[in-house]
Amino acid sequence: MLGYTITQWLFGILSFLSIMFALMVVFSRNPVNSILYLVLTFFCIAGLYLLLNAQFLAVVHIVVYSGAIMVLFLFVIMLMNLNQDNEPQRATLNKIIAGVSGGMLLVVLVGSLKGGEQLGLQSYGSSQIGLVKNLGKVLFSEFLFPFEIASILLLAALVGSIMIGKKEIK
């Protein structure tokens, strides 16, 4: 079709969608909508993962982000009863400044990020690396230490959230 392979089509569509949804996250007035758009973005990204042969990661991504994190967000928003369309907005000037600086960042980044291809970086690995087996091997050999220490991270987050979340006993 039009000289593009299916993968390329899929990549194009998913990219477009993810960018659109991402923009919607930023621009929706209602926080709940934002969350929903974010979930959609994440789905698109998961799709991209699949295109990159990272099947396991795609699944984990859906589970962790869309399943856990986003639900958490939604839960908190509901808890705070922020499901409104009239939430206070930043002054237009601020928005413009934010947009302009973001745009500038984009321009300079795009300007300076070129050159991946011409340097002959091409795929030379197998497409099997994204499989659970492969990942498991790497994770528990090379990355054993970070894996273990990540438990500390999670513990810390756990303890921290509990401590903060607890009602002050007076």
Restricted to residues 53-82, the positions that interact with other proteins (CB under 8 A) are: 53-54, 56-57, 60-61, 64-65, 68-69, 72-73, 76-77, 79-80, 82
DSSP for 32-75, written as a single string? HHHHHHHHHHHHHHHHHHHHTT-HHHHHHHIIIIIIIIHHHHHH
- The distance of closest approach from Cβ of residue 118 to other proteins in the complex, given in angstroms and rounded to an integer, is 8
CB of 161 to other proteins, least distance (A): 4
Q: Which tokens in the block code for residue 18?
A: 């993810």
For other proteins, the binding residues in 148-167 under the rule CB under 8 A are 149-150, 152-166
- List, as own/partner pairs, every contact residues 135-141 make where C-beta atoms lie below 8 angstroms and the sequence separation is at least 24, other chains included: 135/56, 135/57
Q: Which one, 1 or 88, has the nearer CB to other proteins?
A: 88
| Binds other proteins by CB under 8 A, chosen from 45, 62, 67, 85 | 45
Q: Could you tell me which of 67, 88, 76 has the C-alpha nearest to residue 32?
A: 76
**Alpha-carbon distances, residue 91 vs 28, 46, 98 (angstroms):** 16, 35, 11
**Binders in 74-133 for other proteins, by CB under 8 A:** 76-77, 79-80, 82, 87-90, 94-95, 97-99, 101-102, 104-106, 108-119, 121-127, 129-130
If one asks whether residue 38 binds other proteins (CB under 8 A), the answer comes out as yes
